[in-house]
Structure formats: structure tokens, C-alpha cells
Structure 1
Amino acid sequence: MKKITVDVAVIGGGTAGLGAYRAAKAHTKKVVMIEGGPYGTTCARVGCMPSKLLIAAAEAVHHIQKAPGFGVHPEGEIRIDGREVMARVKRERDRFVGFVLEGVDSIPDEDKIQGYARFVDAHTLIVDDHTEIHAERIVIATGSRPSWPAAWNELGDRLIINDDVFNWDDLPHSVAVFGPGVIGLELGQALHRLGVQVIMFGMGGLVGPLTDEAVRDYAAKTLNEEFYLDADAKVEQMFRDGDSVIIRYLDKAGQQQETRVDYVLAATGRRANVDKLDIANTGVQLDNRGIPVADRFTLQTSVPHLFIAGDASNQLPLLHEAADQGRIAGDNAGRFPDIRAGLRRSSISVVFSDPQIAMVGSTLRELNQKYSSCGCFEIGEVSFEDQGRSRVMLRNKGLLHVYGEHGTGRFLGAEMMGPNVEHIAHLLAWAHQQQMTVSQMLDMPFYHPVIEEGLRTALRDLNAKLHLGPEMVKRCLDCGPGA
């Protein structure tokens, strides 16, 4: 067995791992990156990029279908060639992966170790029984993988995950999507618009990452107008029958229904890839899911020389978060023991459904927990159904809630569904990171006619409801998050 000694070992070669490697390399040359699977990152291979390619194709179909609403009538029947759709998805997906691989190719071969690592102790790693690594510091950046109930394995190749969708050569006839989260909503709606019969089941009424009940209910109602979505489904039986899957369930009226589909798409969550690392051998503190507990600003665990970043940390599984975390963890591993807090940006998340769903800053659930004893925040609202620019484009569906703090007037967060709210979410995230007040936000320029005028309406509604002044500030400090 080959034995090597390094200053920093990074386990994982995805977005977080690559960021950690480069950050650590700025402090020491003795850095290795260990990767068991293919390089290319989850985002480029099976995540953000191929899903947006599929969504783009679906949007093209949808625009044609909506054209008669403007008095424009396309000639002939819309023909969707599934093979052409998937060929472009895979071709462009491979192009994005290629960009990532170019960066990986620039890393010296001696710094890349192929294989799966496991801990012998807090400083020692064994990689596929061929290499033993003694590392002064270690960054865990092993990513995550889809998870589903074990009983579903009986469905065999009729059970698929998002990875499988992007390897299709053609589109199927029908798919049942379990899990109306980010992945389920994006893929489910895109497949529906591309002519696939889609039925979607959820649990507990959840839709996307939304925690604001009013926005969540609006989203469920809006999406259900396009395809069957039961966010709190009662599935009684699911079994394979030949090359199909039969699902028996109670519909929203309590009536028993049966459907036959080609595939079941499991979009029921992801699991951090830390369970096969023998991580207990390090003595690191784990949470109730078996994931190392880490400081949010330094990514340092309870074992000072161990750091964790990206989806493996299970903090916020998004590419930009993984990049930030990898950079922070790698920098601290490289400069150890000079640990420094890294920049953690205001949270922002987007679901590329139509209408889009987005969240910024604190969620309503978090605010209810923080201010549970005094309710020191208020909600501003706007509907996009009568918003000028949205109606012009025949995209007037949506609801936006913005949250502000009594006393200070500070903007706290937002949850929304609406047309192109990815752009509104960015404006709000910038305002949140700058800790702006609602009044300051209203002093910013708004053009006419634009969708962002809807945001101004919501901010005006919120500003009118806020109670400001030193007495209210003191009251909220006494009961709020700093109490």
C-alpha cells in the first residue's frame, strides 16, 4: 500500500471539493483531492444545468401554446420530438461538464487520488485499499445523493432519480413524481409541458421549500391547474406490473383511484454522503442524522483540524453555498490554526417552476420561532394577478410576501411565487445582506412598467404596517433573537 503525508486532504472533487482544494493550495503545496466517482460536479452532470436545459425546452412549447391568448395562432399541430429534446439536453450538459473537467485537468496529477476514502483515525485515511494518507488537516466535501424508501427498490428499473432522467434517449409516456420539492417540481412540470403524462404526490402539504402557508397554498393551487398535484397524498399501494408501475391512491375527494405509469421518479430528498466514511473513528461530534456538526462561519467541526463543506454539511444544498463553504473550509484548513470566519451571504433559493418560487433571508417559519413570544415582525403582500406588466405578458399568477421587523423597520426576508421572481429574489437578497430597512428599499428606483413594481407594492404594504421607534426596538430586543 502506498503511503503519503500531506498538509491538507480534501475528500470529494465536486463544487465544494474543488473550491476547498484551490483555497488550501494558496497556503501550502502539500494538498491532495480524493474523488471516488467521475469529476464534473452534481450541478453540471445531473443538477442545475441539465434540469434548466429540459425546462428551456418545456418553456418553448408553453410559449407556443399560449400564443393564441395574444391573437397569434401558430399553424399546425405542435410536434415534440423527445429524441431531439433529450439529444440537446445531453449535448449541452456534456459541454458544461467539459468546462468543469478543464479545471480538473489543470490540477497536477500527483494532487488527485482516485478512489473512496474512509477514516482510520482523525488524521489517517485509507483510499480503496491502495493508498494510506496521513493528513494534518482534512476537508470533507463528499456531496449528497438521492434517497427514497427502501421498499421502492422492488420497482427495479421503473424507479428513477433525476440522474436517470438526463440519460434518457427519448421521453416516456407517463411518470409519477414523488416529492414536490425543488427537483420534483422542476422536472415534473417540464416533463408535463413536453407531453409526458405527469402525476405528482407529496406529503404533509409541502410545496417546494416554502414555509409561508398562504404562499404555499397558492403555489399548490396554481400548479394543480396545470397537472395533478396532491401535496398531501394518500397512496395506498404501489407495485410493478411488467414494464409499468400501478399506483392506487385516494384522490382529494377521498375516492380511490388507480393509475399506471412508465416510471416513478423519486424526488424525496437527498442524503449527505458521510455514512460510508467510517467517520465515527474521528471522534467528531455528529448531529441526529449522523452528520458532523460544524460552525457556520468557519466550517470547523468539533475536531479542530476537520472541516466539512457543501452538500455533505447539509446546511443549504445549493451550488453557490457549496462554492462558498468549500472556499471557507479550504482556506481555514490551509492556514490552520489561524481560523477565520468567512463571508456567509444572505440566503437565496429559487425553484425554476412556472411561475417561479423563491425565498430570501429568514423564512416565515424561522421568524415565527424567533419572535414567538411577541410577534415583532409584520407581513407585506402583493398579488401578481392584477400587476400591470404581468398581465401584459399573460403571466399574471403569483403571490409575494415580504417580512419586516417592528421597531427597526429592517427587512427580514421573503417568500414568493410569481413571474421571473428569480430577479426579485436577487434584489431582495442584496437588500437583506446590506441590512436595509423597508423604508430605504422604497427609496430605491423602480422603473415603469416592470414586474418589480409589484415588489414596491408589497414593500409599501409592509411599511404601512410597521411600528417604528426606540420603545418598539427595546420591546423586540427583549423578546427577539438576541434576547
Structure 2
Amino acid sequence: MVETLRCDVAVIGGGTAGISAERAARKNGASTLMIDPEFNGTTCANVGCMPSKLLIAAAKEAHRIGQAGLFGIKVGDMRIDGPAVMRRVRSERDRFARLTRDSIAELPDDVTLRARARFDGPNRLLLDDGRAVEAKSIVIATGSSPALPGPFAELGDRVITSDGVFELEELPRRLAVVGSGAIGLELAQAFARLGVDVALFDKGERMAKIRCPRVHAALRTIIETDMPVHLGVDVSPEADENGVVVRWSGSHSGEAHFDLLLAALGRPPQLDGLDLEKADIELDENGVPLHDRATMRCGESGIFIAGDVASDLPLLHEASHDGAIAGRNAAALPAPIETERHVSFSIVFTDPTTASIGESEADGAVTGHADFSDQGRARVEGRNRGTLTLYAAAPDGRLIGADLVAPAGEHLAHMLAWAIQSGKTASDLLELPFYHPTIEEGLKQALRTICAATPITLPQDQDTGTPPGA
């Protein structure tokens, strides 16, 4: 006879979304079980946000030292110790991962189940240890994994993904990066600035899903100072005795040899082995459960979904928010509570930073632009590259979105995301103080353009603003 465990809410997956869902469900009075085969920490700590930022930090420091001559500072020959760089990345990464595992270990003993789960009905799960779980509600939070299509998988040990790149003990000499989304862009620039001969490839024409052509052009110019960029091409890789031969065709064609290929081709949701056909829920054309983002509920069922597996916005803060919404509503079933979602907000940690926020010009907006090539503070610091586009709704100039590649971009992006979510207009922001000289002053140019295009009076004390270059 199968041993059956019972609870109000069962959560499949012990990553960021799963932890958030379990916590929210228990906080709202539900009995919970969280099921994961490893409980090895989160994607962010193990192979995502934190190790990538450690590599980027090393690259940023190398680049900063290399720019010292701009300020009249002479330094000796800089040598990058690849093994030392990667040792620090792994050491600090392991610390972050240990902290996430420690937080899971602090959960009540009767909450976590180390097993793999699959559906045996809308409210029943079978575990690979022979037991079963029956729950009033179930949250799917199984995350994502790197895509590795056949021709790339055939490269064997000559190909790596973001799940394995931080295990490198030495920096490669020549690296092909295929995929110019957030992961590909960040890692390509970081390796290039650590002295690796990098080339970037993508079959698409836009990097990082930047919507504004002006911002994308600025981003491409910046990235091309570090490496050749091949967009609009199909890549055919082939392993040989010395590494990888990459041939490409499309917008242009060519062939080059690399020691290693980094496949940054996206992270599809992990749904294999869940037996979703037994869950009695509707799936989209990619096999992802259809769900309402306001509740994270799948149709009218007692099944919820959260995090990267939902295939909405694969970002940590979104995964955490998904989990909180799903867990609370799983506990509240059959009376789910709709939640207004945060403004969409993504940052790519290139140098300078790339970001997209909210809605775009395609949604019928008034636009304003800011150029940082002669912005005062940026020029003082020798990082005067990039541009920014703001989108605002007519007729009142209410801010609805932004695309940018700009110095201090992660801070500008946060300010703009908060302003957009708060319903602020361009005029509202111009009435606020801007300290001089700061990067933030660069926003004024774009804000004034929006005010000029809408029937809004420009605040009197901001009409003249800071002179160019001041």
C-alpha cells in the first residue's frame, strides 16, 4: 500500500519561486510540503545572478585599471591570473549557495521532501521514493535549464552553458558566444575584458531585446569595442581536435576557430517528467500551463505556477513575486486574490548597463532621448557612452517605459521603474531636485523633450537646466 502524505499546499521545486510560495502559503495558515530532489540552492546563487556578477566584477576591475592612462595615471603591465579569477568566482559563489541552502535547512523538518514528483491527478502527486502526496492545491515551481540543441550538444566537452561556465579552472584563449540575450551579453563582455578573444553570434538582429533602434545602435557600438558581433546569422559548429570550428551564414558569412563555445540559447522551463497530462490543465503550444499572472492560477484548477517555469519574465524578483502570489492564492483557494504586477523591468549588467522598463514606443508613446556622450559627470569619469529613450503617454506625459544603455544605468533604471509604477509624469520628475554634477542630470534632456511634446507647462525653475558639458 502506498504511503500517502496530505497537506493543504504542495510545492514542487525548492528554488527562489518555490521557497517564496511555500513561505507565503504557510504564512497564510496552510499546511505545506516542498518537494525537491536536491535542495541545492537557487539558480541565482548557483549558476545565475551571483557567479555572473562575480565574473563581471573581475572584468570591470581589469577594465578600470586598463583605463587609468585616461586620467594621467601610469600603471605597470597588468597581468590577469585566470585561475585566480575563477577561484574567487567559485569561492564566493559557493558562499552564496551555502547561505541559500542554510535558509532551506531552517524550515520545519516536516515541510521538505527530498524526492522527484509527478502528477497522478489534479490534486495528487507520486514521488520517486514510492510515496504519494495529496494536496488541496499544488504549486509548480520547477525552474528552467539551459537549452542545448543537437548540433551544440554534439560538441561534447567543447561546449559549455551558463550552468557549467563557472567551473572553468582557466580562462579560454578564444571563446565563441552564441546568443546575445542577457546571459550571452554579460558573459561575452566579461570574458573579453579579462583578455579572452571573444566573438558574439546571434540569429536575431537585436541584442538584449532592446526595443529602441537608437539605444540598440549605441549598445552594439559599445559591445563591438570589446569583440566582433555577428547578428542575423545561423551558426554551424563542429568540434575538431583543437576546439570548435564555427561557420556562420545569413546577413554575412564566415568561419573561425575557437577553443570553446558558450551556448547562451535561452533557458526553457523544466517540465519534463511532471506528467502534466494527468493534471487536467490547459497547456500552451510550448507545453507550459496557461495561467493568470494576477493570481498565478492555472485556469479554474487548484494548480498554480511560479518562477522561470511559468515562462513569463525569467528574473529573480519576478520569480519571488510569482511565488508569493501563487503561495498565498494556493492557501486561499477557492477565493484567489488578484495582485497588480510590478512594472516589467529587466537589467543586463553590461558596461555601461543595459535596461528595458515598461511599455515602449510601439504602444503609441511620446518619446524623449538623452545622449550621455557629452554628459558632464559621465565625461568627468571617462564613461561618457550610451543613450536613453523614455516613452510617455499622451496627452499628459505620464511615463510608461524606457530603454537605455547608460553609465549608472542600473540606478537610472530603478528610478524610472519606480516613477513609472507610481504614475509620474515627465513634468513631475522635473519638479524634483537634481544634484549637480550627477549622472541623474542626464535624464533632464529626455524629460524636457516629452514635456515639449505634450500640453504640459515645463516647471519654471527647470527651464534652462544644466548647460551641455557642465
Q: Distance in 2 between matches of 1:38 and 1:157?
A: 27
Q: Distance in 2 between matches of 1:12 and 1:223?
A: 37
Q: What amino acid is aligned across from residue 458 of structure 1 in structure 2?
A: A
Q: Distance in 1 between matches of 2:93 and 2:127?
A: 30
Q: What amino acid is aligned across from residue 239 of structure 1 in structure 2?
A: E
Q: What amino acid is aligned across from residue 444 of structure 2 in structure 1?
A: R
Q: How does 1:26-65 map to 2 (within 5 A)?
A: 26-28=27-29, 30-65=31-66
**Alignment match of 1:308 (pick from 305, 308, 311):** 305
1:287 paired residue number: 284
Q: How does 1:146-295 map to 2 (within 5 A)?
A: 146-235=146-235, 237-249=236-248, 254=252, 257-295=254-292
Check conservation: 2:146, 2:163, Cα contact below 8 A: no
Q: Distance in 2 between matches of 1:37 and 1:449?
A: 50
Q: What amino acid is aligned across from residue 49 of structure 2 in structure 1?
A: C
Q: Alpha-carbon deviations, 1:377-405, whole Å to 9, x = none?
A: 21100111011111111101101000111
Q: Alpha-carbon deviations, 1:288-308, whole Å to 9, x = none?
A: 211111111111111431111
Q: Give the Å deviation of 1:251.
A: 9.2
Q: What amino acid is aligned across from residue 333 of structure 1 in structure 2?
A: A
2:107 paired residue number: 107
Q: Give the Å deviation of 1:343.
A: 4.3
Check conservation: 1:404, 1:466, Cα contact below 8 A: no
Q: Distance in 2 between matches of 1:234 and 1:259?
A: 14
Q: Give the Å deviation of 1:334.
A: 1.2
Give the percent of matched residue pairs that are identical in Structure 1 and Structure 2: 43
Q: Give the Å deviation of 1:342.
A: 2.6
Check conservation: 1:286, 1:293, Cα contact below 8 A: yes
Q: Alpha-carbon deviations, 1:158-188, whole Å to 9, x = none?
A: 1110111111222111210000110001011
Local SS of the residue matching 1:110? coil
Q: Give the Å deviation of 1:250.
A: 5.0
Q: 1:29 to 1:414 in 2, by over 3 A?
A: closer
Q: What amino acid is aligned across from residue 295 of structure 2 in structure 1?
A: T
Q: Distance in 2 between matches of 1:18 and 1:276?
A: 21
**Alignment match of 1:337 (pick from 319, 329, 334):** 334
Q: Alpha-carbon deviations, 1:56-75, whole Å to 9, x = none?
A: 00011001110001111102
Q: What amino acid is aligned across from residue 323 of structure 2 in structure 1?
A: G
Check conservation: 1:251, 1:257, Cα contact below 8 A: no
Local SS of the residue matching 1:162? coil
Q: Alpha-carbon deviations, 1:264-298, whole Å to 9, x = none?
A: 11101110112331112112111221111111111
Query: Does 2:415 correspond to 1:427?
Result: yes
**Alignment match of 2:428 (pick from 431, 436, 440):** 440
Check conservation: 1:139, 1:306, Cα contact below 8 A: yes
Check conservation: 2:356, 2:402, Cα contact below 8 A: yes
Q: Distance in 2 between matches of 1:19 and 1:156?
A: 36
Q: How does 1:122-141 map to 2 (within 5 A)?
A: 122-141=122-141
Q: Alpha-carbon deviations, 1:224-268, whole Å to 9, x = none?
A: 122111122243x4211024011123597x4x5332111111101
When normalised by structure 1's length, the TM-score is 0.91
Q: Give the Å deviation of 1:427.
A: 0.5
Q: Distance in 2 between matches of 1:363 and 1:163?
A: 32
Root-mean-square deviation (Å):
1.6
1:385 paired residue number: 373
Q: Give the Å deviation of 1:460.
A: 0.8
Greater shift in the superposed pair: 1-10 or 45-54:
1-10
Q: What amino acid is aligned across from residue 12 of structure 2 in structure 1?
A: I
Q: Distance in 2 between matches of 1:248 and 1:360?
A: 35
Q: Distance in 2 between matches of 1:79 and 1:241?
A: 30
Q: Distance in 2 between matches of 1:406 and 1:27?
A: 42
Q: Distance in 2 between matches of 1:456 and 1:21?
A: 44
Q: Give the Å deviation of 1:467.
A: 4.4
Greater shift in the superposed pair: 241-250 or 406-415:
241-250
Q: What amino acid is aligned across from residue 28 of structure 1 in structure 2?
A: G
Greater shift in the superposed pair: 32-41 or 6-15:
32-41
Q: Give the Å deviation of 1:129.
A: 4.6
Q: Distance in 2 between matches of 1:12 and 1:304?
A: 19
Check conservation: 1:357, 1:421, Cα contact below 8 A: yes
Q: 1:467 to 1:285 in 2, by over 3 A?
A: farther
Check conservation: 1:13, 1:35, Cα contact below 8 A: yes
Q: Distance in 2 between matches of 1:444 and 1:17?
A: 40
Q: Give the Å deviation of 1:101.
A: 1.2
Query: Does 2:443 correspond to 1:458?
Result: no
Q: Alpha-carbon deviations, 1:197-224, whole Å to 9, x = none?
A: 1111012212112121221122112211
Local SS of the residue matching 1:272? coil
Structure 1 unaligned residues grouped into runs of 5+: 372-376, 470-483
Q: Distance in 1 between matches of 2:378 and 2:190?
A: 21
Query: Does 2:295 correspond to 1:298?
Result: yes
Q: Alpha-carbon deviations, 1:8-65, whole Å to 9, x = none?
A: 1000000000000011112335210011234210000000000000000001100111
Q: Give the Å deviation of 1:95.
A: 0.9
Give the number of aligned pairs.
456
Q: Give the Å deviation of 1:109.
A: 2.5
Q: Distance in 1 between matches of 2:257 and 2:307?
A: 38
Q: Distance in 1 between matches of 2:83 and 2:261?
A: 20
Greater shift in the superposed pair: 190-199 or 33-42:
33-42
Q: What amino acid is aligned across from residue 245 of structure 2 in structure 1?
A: I
Check conservation: 1:158, 1:243, Cα contact below 8 A: no
Q: 1:72 to 1:288 in 2, by over 3 A?
A: same
Q: Distance in 2 between matches of 1:430 and 1:43?
A: 23
Check conservation: 2:39, 2:114, Cα contact below 8 A: no
Q: What amino acid is aligned across from residue 216 of structure 2 in structure 1?
A: R
Q: Distance in 1 between matches of 2:103 and 2:29?
A: 19
1:476 paired residue number: none
Q: Distance in 2 between matches of 1:218 and 1:433?
A: 26
Structure 2 unaligned residues grouped into runs of 5+: 458-470
Q: Distance in 1 between matches of 2:138 and 2:120?
A: 13
